[in-house]
Amino acid sequence: MCGRYVQVSSPRLLAEHFDVDEVVTEPHEPDYNVAPRADVYAVLEREPGSRLLESLRWGLVPSWADDLKIGDRLINARAETIAEKPAFRRAFARRRCILPADGFYEWKPLPKQGSARVRKQPMFIHRRDGEPFAFAGLWEAWRDPDDRDSPWVVSCVIVTTRANEVLAPIHDRMPVVLDEANWSGWLDPTEHDLDRLTPMLVPAPAGWFVTYPVGTLVNKAANNGPELVSPVEPATLFQ
């Protein structure tokens, strides 16, 4: 699962890194604690061969949904089932995107002490080379069925897979991080062959990742700032 991540790279940097043809979003404030419902940068192709950087709402709202609330439950999509799940299968076949991230958080269970409840250590994960992640994502456009004059809401979901050997001790799931060789195929809106797409949805190599403990400030979505990714000594957190 991925419930919080970091998105601080500028649109200019992301456009260069992901070979974007047009930026169609205003710059966001750097976000060290991206939470569901946030507007996030996404790379997608509405037309073949034209790569855009847009802003999407995190939490997928399928076109058939009655209201936006369903998006709160659809922040992640399991790679193993997206071809069958009604909420994801059409987007998987036709509306795929890359969600850039500069890192993400997971919570590692700590050994239980006596009758105390299970404690969890926030961990920050980023690429060893410092480059942005290319999370595999899906996107959808939705409009209130009771108000056809309302604006379209374009939303997204992060695809997850089983954890690799570095992340497995922290959590059993991780976001799908696409290899650069797969970016074009994943974004291509004319590519509908699921047998070609599905092999992309595997755990990224363990050597790509660095992990370290951070403070519990990240536990509250309202907290933000670079201090959230500062390393801490885990033994000091719960004393």
Residues 218, 235: Cα–Cα separation, whole Å: 17
How many domains does the chain divide into?
Answer: 1
* Res. 235: pLDDT tops 80: no
Residue of 45, 54, 106, 140 marked catalytic: 106
Reply yes or no on whether 106 is catalytic. yes
Sign of the torsion formed by the C-alpha atoms of 56, 59, 62 and 65: negative
Please give, one letter per residue, the 3-state secondary structure of 110-134: CCCCCCCCCCEEEEEEEECCCCCEE
The pLDDT, as a whole number, for residue 239 is 42
* Res. 236: pLDDT tops 60: no
* Res. 227: pLDDT tops 70: yes
Sign of the torsion formed by the C-alpha atoms of 27, 32, 36 and 37: negative
Strands 50-58 and 22-23: parallel
Residues 107, 62: Cα–Cα separation, whole Å: 29
Q: Give the pLDDT confidence of 157-204 residue by residue, as tens digits.
A: 999 999 999 999 999 999 999 999 999 999 999 999 999 999 999 999
Query: What percent of the chain lies above the pLDDT cut of 70?
Result: 95
pLDDT interval class at 72 (50, 70, 90): very high
Which amino acid is residue 54, in one-letter code? Answer: E
The pLDDT, as a whole number, for residue 114 is 56
Q: Tokens in use for 231? A: 């390393």
The domain in which residue 218 lies consists of 5-236
Residue of 2, 45, 97, 156 marked catalytic: 2
CATH at 142: 3.90.1680.10
Q: What is the mean pLDDT of the chain?
A: 94
Reply yes or no on whether 2 is catalytic. yes
Q: Give the pLDDT confidence of 86-120 residue by residue, as tens digits.
A: 999 999 999 999 999 999 999 999 887 654 566 89
